[in-house]
Amino acid sequence: MGKDKLRKFRENLSFECFVQPEFDEVFRRDYRLKGHWRSDFFHNDRPIVLELGCGKGEYTVALARQDPQRNFIGIDIKGARMWRGAKTATESRMPNVGFLRTRIEFINGLFAEGEVDEIWITFPDPQLKTRRAKKRLTSPLFLEYYARILRPGGVIHLKTDSKHLYAYTNEVIRRFGLPCEVSEPDIYGSGFADEVLSVKTAYEQRFLGMGLPITYTRFRLDGRRDFPWFDWEEDEKLEKDNEQERLAGR
């Protein structure tokens, strides 16, 4: 491990906005802040917004600057990346920003039922292999996680360059009859992007430079708690196409 990465790991622990539970504090048990993020961490009773897979935390920080009346928590497992957002929030003295280093699979041990008001998912790994579909952050497995922590009527936002993930998420919404408020395949080309959606992460800048359209989906779970798994035919088609391209390239 590089010295700079180790330095960032150490510095993360000095930031008041940075929380890094030990594995045995969250694995199959409830973390001490579960149900107490407002009172014990933010020291207010304002709404809580999560950014899942926050990377460097650009979106978390930008959203918090735009809306100081809400609390924002960026979640990721990559501590060296999160260092940038945590350092910016610390230097800018932003009391409504937190960063939580953990696996998203542990989220139900970290937040209580109805404790979260909104979820942002920005440029996650689309997990294009069929066998990894369960790891998609909009898969039925993860929707069951979110259903336990989102307040009634809480919104989920997905912003991605992946046409496959965008289509998959819309299929999930259709299959489960979820209320979909927005499904926009090109937020910049259509002029749909507002001040919030125009926030650009490092990944987004790269994708825009490649000429890729940026998609946006906003939906709610509407009180649904069960999301049975299903196999999407487009996943199998994509995998077959990729295999054919691989063999043709030999």
Report the catalytic residues. 125
The C-alpha atoms of residue 180 and residue 61 are separated, in whole angstroms, by: 26
Considering Cα of 84, then 88, then 90, then 91, what sign does the dihedral take? Answer: positive
Taking every pair of Cα atoms in the chain, the longest distance, rounded to a whole number of angstroms, is 60
Buried residues in 44-55 as b, exposed as e (16+ CB within 10 A): eeebbbbbbbbb
Cα separations in angstroms, 193 against 14, 34, 155, 190, 210: 36, 34, 18, 8, 19
Given a contact cutoff of 8 angstroms between Cβ atoms, the answer to whether 54 and 87 are in contact is no
Return the number of other C-beta atoms located less than 10 Å from residue 220's C-beta. Answer: 17
Sequence-distant (≥ 6) Cβ neighbours of residue 218 within 8 angstroms: 155, 156, 157, 158, 180, 181, 182
Cα separations in angstroms, 158 against 20, 39, 178, 184: 25, 28, 14, 10
